[in-house]
Amino acid sequence: MAGVKASIELQVFRQAAGVWFDTIIDLVNGYAIPDILQKNGNYYKDNVFNIVQRVDQVTLTSDVAQNAIVLNCN
């Protein structure tokens, strides 16, 4: 089976961040985190994932070893 290989410069992602970052945030905000029950009786229950930062406070870097783009909220 043939694969596809492509590369995109990180600067392209940085330029597009203002356009698509809010969409990504809308998709992940409010995501329900599964309940975690531990053997010792402690538990995490009814939690959700939210990000409240704007794109100008987020840095984009590349992780070549993992073939990934990393969004870091400081």
* Residue 17, domain member (yes or no): yes
Rounded CA-CA distance 33/54 in Å is 22
**Residue 2 resides in a domain:** no
Tell me if residue 44 falls in helix, strand or coil.
strand
The whole domain housing 60 covers 10-73
pLDDT by residue, tens only, the chain of 74 residues = 566 666 667 777 777 766 777 787 788 888 888 888 877 878 888 888 777 766 667 777 888 898 887 877 66
Residue 62 domain flag? yes
- Whether 1 is in a domain gets the answer no
Cβ-based neighbour number of residue 55 at 10 Å = 16
Q: Is residue 21 part of a domain?
A: yes
pLDDT at 54: 67
User: Does any domain span residue 49?
Assistant: yes
Report the domain count for the chain.
1
Alpha carbon distance 35, 69 (integer Å): 28
